[in-house]
Amino acid sequence: MISPAEAMRIEGRCHCGNVSYALRTRERLDDVVVRICACEFCLRHRPRHWSDPQGSLEIAIEDPGEIVRYRFGHGTADFLICRRCGVYCLAITELDGDFRAVCNLNLALGRGARPRETTLEALAESTEERMQRRGAKWTPVVSGWPPR
């Protein structure tokens, strides 16, 4: 992981502020290429996912009782939705006793943001391939999960 001194901080939050995150990365927000997934969940929510395997993620949840953990497909990740405002925030998975996540960058972007996009065909992956990709590409979670 990178040190806080050399990292940029990308902050995002759901509409009501119940869920927020701070992603530390060397990447500039203008250089990020977001991933668009073709699964049914993502087609309906239209998240723009991004993660940095060299970065770190801090998650803050004001009221854990207002979080919906939704699992689908292979059932290998929790997709966190704020029950108060209905916003999908991030997906999180456990690998070898550690948590890794991918953020919905919509929570950090301004209204007019138009980041470059690439598509992801996660539906074509086996469970093993999916977990390997997440281990290699998702951001390590350093605080705030699981919520207390």
**Does residue 121 carry a pLDDT above 90?**
no
Task: Give the domain extent around 106.
Answer: 4-143
Predicted local confidence at residue 139, as pLDDT = 96
Model confidence at 2, pLDDT cuts 50, 70, 90, reads: low
Is 148 among the domain residues? no
CATH of the domain at 11: 2.170.150.70
Is 80 among the domain residues? yes
pLDDT (average), residues 26-33: 87
- If we measure between CA atoms, which residue out of 49, 70, 134 comes closest to residue 98? 134
The conformation of residue 102, written as its DSSP 8-state character, comes to E
Predicted local confidence at residue 70, as pLDDT = 96
**Does residue 124 carry a pLDDT above 90?**
no
Predicted local confidence at residue 7, as pLDDT = 76
Average pLDDT, the chain: 91
The CA-atom distances, in angstroms, between 44 and each of 47, 87, 93 are 9, 12, 21
Total domains in the fold of the chain: 1
Is 13 among the domain residues? yes
Distance (Å, whole) CA 102 – CA 105: 9
Task: Provide, rounded to the nearest whole percent, the portion of the chain with pLDDT above 70.
Answer: 96
Distance (Å, whole) CA 113 – CA 9: 17
Q: What is the pTM for the complete model shown? A: 0.88
Is 69 among the domain residues? yes
Dihedral over alpha carbons 103, 104, 108, 113 (to 10 degrees): 130
Angle, CA 54 vertex, CA 48 and CA 56 arms, to 5°: 70
Task: Provide, rounded to the nearest whole percent, the portion of the chain with pLDDT above 90.
Answer: 66
Predicted local confidence at residue 82, as pLDDT = 98
Burial of 98 (0-12, 13-18, 19+ CB in 10 A): exposed
Which of 3-12, 93-102, 107-116 has the lowest average pLDDT? 3-12
State the DSSP H helix or E strand holding residue 12, giving kind and residue range, or none if neither.
strand 8-13
